[in-house]
Amino acid sequence: MMSRWGQPTPSLATKRVKIRRGHGWSKKVKARKVPPPAQPKLRPLDKDFVWPCVADIRYAQDHHGNDKPKQATMVEGLWQVDERLWIPSAANDLIQRIMIVAHCGSAGHRGHAALVATVRRLFYVDHLADRASEFLRDCLLCPHVKGGRVVHRPYAPRWHAKERNEGIHFDYLYMGEAFSGAKYVLVLKDDLTHYCELIACDGPTSQVCVDALVDWTKRFGMPRVWVSDQGTHFKNVAMKALAHKFKVHHDLTLAYCPWRNGTVERMNRDILQVMRVMLRE
């Protein structure tokens, strides 16, 4: 890892290429010097990131010298433990920057064992495994590529209605397999009054949702805001055309964030609870 920081510019490589002349390819093959592919630079995305250096390590050791291990020895002005640079546990910013270099960029956002092994080769940090686990839990990119169902999203203010029928939430609820009849329920809920309507249907389609919203509008008036997830039955040309026709803002929640449409998700849980009790009776 440390060797890549001061790596010299690679020399030119020789590659045989075919030269096109006139209207066809020439049979002559010439040797031409071409530069090899550029080496990927290991760098964080933040332009304000400060790379850890020897001066930072010496500064941290000087300010937290009372915490150094008993087996630490002075080598060329720096404290080392088992031929590894000692990093004080209180130097949180320095430890975080070292882990960013060892985990992000071309390091590939590998797992806990790889991160601990990479840092441990060069540095001695107390409770390194625990610090690495805490660091990986806060990584925003790892959940996108490691199969996790919960992906971290930035916080944002939630919208709430101040008038009746100002905004409605809707979502499809799967009721389970059935030999005949409806398998889904379209749940519509007013944001302020919590008034709900349930529409049974055979499948989650945009046509069922469009008909339900038109029927709601005929009886209660025109809402200003629709809130739903980004399922294909809600995010499509038909829904977009209806919203444009009714002059309604359709608020689509982020993926993997059911709490953004939590009021209707809570209603779904109540519906399933009632249905389970009725079936048991």
Which CATH superfamily groups domain 167-280? Ribonuclease H-like superfamily/Ribonuclease H (3.30.420.10)
pLDDT reading at 4 higher than 50: no
**Residue 40 confidence (pLDDT):** 45
Q: How far apart are CA 110 and CA 119, in angstroms?
A: 13
pTM comes to 0.48
pLDDT single digits (tens) 148-198: 666 666 666 777 899 999 999 999 999 988 777 889 999 999 999 999 999
pLDDT single digits (tens) 24-80: 555 444 444 555 555 444 444 566 778 888 999 999 998 888 888 888 899 988 999
> What residues form DSSP beta bridges with 33?
14
| Amino acid, single-letter form, for residue 89 | S
**Residue 149 confidence (pLDDT):** 64
What mean pLDDT is predicted for residues 73-93? Answer: 90
Which CATH number applies to 54-145?
Answer: 1.10.340.70
Angle between the N-to-C axes of helices 54-63 and 92-103, in degrees from 0 to 180, rounded to the nearest 10: 150
Q: How far apart are CA 149 and CA 146, in angstroms?
A: 9
Domain ranges across the chain: 54-145, 167-280
Q: CB–CB of 124/88 below 8 Å?
A: no
